[in-house]
Amino acid sequence: MIALERVALLLLATVGSLFMAWTVGAGSSGSTPFAPAVGANSISVMRAGFIVGILGFTGAILQGTNVSETIGSGLIQNITLPSIAVIITLFTAALLVIVGIFTGYPIATAFTVTGAVTGVGLALGGLPAWNTYGRIATLWILTPFVGASVSYSIARMLNSPRLPTDVIVGALGFLTLFVVVNMEFSVLAPPGQSQSLSSAILSFIATTLKEPGQIGISLVLAGTGGIVLKQRHRVSDVATECRFLIALGCLVAFSAGATQVGLAVGPLLPLLDEWEVPLIAILGFGGLGLLAGSWTGAPRMIKALSQDYSALGPKRSIASLVPSFIIAQVAVFLGVPVSFNEIIVSAIIGSGYAGENAPVSVSKMRNTILAWIVSFCLSGAFGYSAMRVIASIP
């Protein structure tokens, strides 16, 4: 009977994980990456939802390990969350995100999951992992300021008549490609490890070269791409900007899957240790949930993000996606759960302020920030209270 009860709780926790993955796909990873491109009329809402689902699934499998492990075991020390704690965590966070989806306010998924995991963990007598919290808090606090200021600066440069736009676009292409060739993927390395594209090329050319060689290869690859993009912009500026914008949306969608899948499957990892389920299978399971959410629930939030915060053109959309992509990859590298809603919204607001005729909705911005704070506090308080009540039942 006890074994049957454990299996039943594990199945319920798995359903909760899938539910959470759906809400993440519908409200965070599925809606944010292509919102600027939709706002710039470079891609339709339905096509954006379809593409972001595929890329989010791919990112979840290839880069989802670090954040998943942080959520699974890096937030609370000295305890392993039992099945009932995982169930409370996932359903609490998912319900709060759904409220945001149907009200049109992008709830920060990372806030709700982190708050719920912390709440139930503390209720069970666990100890806070202060070093992890320090990294998380630093990134969460810096993200809106860095994202908004960088996107504002890029938008101003792209719209400045004194600066050649093709040079700016080429430089942004160089910066983007430099990050791309240094993204680490599990498929490029032995099992249990990851490796970047530049490092893989370096290993293929000469195993004796180390860090300087990898940096050199990264500069060559990124520089070549930047020069090509600059020349294409001289030939056809509008078409090049639209293609660059779509490419950035694809990269952000991939990064969204990599960072957000951990919010759904991370709490499951400790439960599945004894079953010896491969991590790649767990990430694929979460990726399917993201895919379903992107295809069925993302269009509403894409519309909200692309139109309700600020009017976007191609240049301001590019300005918002470049810092968003970089911040997301920093989060992947550090294994920090980060909210894509926070990243994209702050970048959209920053680029919106750069335009004279593109007013930013102050009330929408204020209400969104309030929703982020309230959702974090609610998830933590509810998780703690629910776990205490259940633990007190004989």
Q: Which residues of 134-146 are buried (b: 16+ CB within 10 A; e: fewer)?
A: ebbeebbeebbeb
CA dihedral 59, 143, 165, 249 (to 10 degrees): 20
Let me know if residue 3 belongs to a domain. no
Let me know if residue 203 belongs to a domain. no
Q: Please tell me the distance from the alpha carbon of residue 269 to that of residue 322, in angstroms, as a whole number.
A: 32
Q: Name residues whose C-beta falls within 8 Å of residue 195's C-beta, 6 or more positions apart in sequence.
A: 184, 185, 188, 189, 203
Handedness of CA 70, 75, 77, 82 (dihedral sign): negative
> Quick one: what percent of the chain has pLDDT higher than 90?
41
Q: Tokens 């049957």 map to which residue? A: 4
Crossing angle of the two packed helices 279-303 and 2-27, in degrees rounded to 10: 40
Q: Please tell me the distance from the alpha carbon of residue 207 to that of residue 204, in angstroms, as a whole number.
A: 7
Let me know if residue 173 belongs to a domain. no
Q: What is the pLDDT of residue 1?
A: 42
The pLDDT of residue 190 is above 90: no
The mean-pLDDT minimum among 60-74, 181-195, 218-232 falls in 181-195
- Place 240 in a pLDDT band, splitting at 50, 70 and 90: very high
* Mean pLDDT for the stretch of residues 112-131: 93
Range of the domain at 303: 9-160+254-318+329-392
Q: What is the pLDDT of residue 105?
A: 66
Higher pLDDT, 118 or 207: 118
Q: Tokens 């709780």 map to which residue? A: 9
Question: Which residues, listed in sequence order, are joined to residue 185 by a DSSP beta bridge?
Answer: 195
Higher pLDDT, 195 or 183: 183
Contact between 316 and 351 (Cβ < 8 Å): yes
Q: Please tell me the distance from the alpha carbon of residue 235 to that of residue 364, in angstroms, as a whole number.
A: 39
The pLDDT of residue 297 is above 70: yes
What helix, strand, coil percent values describe the chain, rounded to 5?
80, 0, 20
CA dihedral 83, 258, 48, 359 (to 10 degrees): 100
| Burial of 238 per CB tally in 10 Å (0-12, 13-18, 19+) | exposed
The mean-pLDDT minimum among 49-53, 131-135, 359-363, 385-389 falls in 359-363
Let me know if residue 228 belongs to a domain. no
Amino acid at 49: G
Let me know if residue 237 belongs to a domain. no
Let me know if residue 298 belongs to a domain. yes
Q: How far out from the chain centre does Cα 121 lie? A: 24
Let me know if residue 207 belongs to a domain. no
Amino acid at 314: P
Q: What is the pLDDT of residue 178?
A: 94
Q: How far out from the chain centre does Cα 45 lie? A: 19
Report the domain count for the chain.
Answer: 1
pTM of the model as a whole: 0.89
Q: Please tell me the distance from the alpha carbon of residue 40 to that of residue 245, in angstroms, as a whole number.
A: 9
Let me know if residue 245 belongs to a domain. no
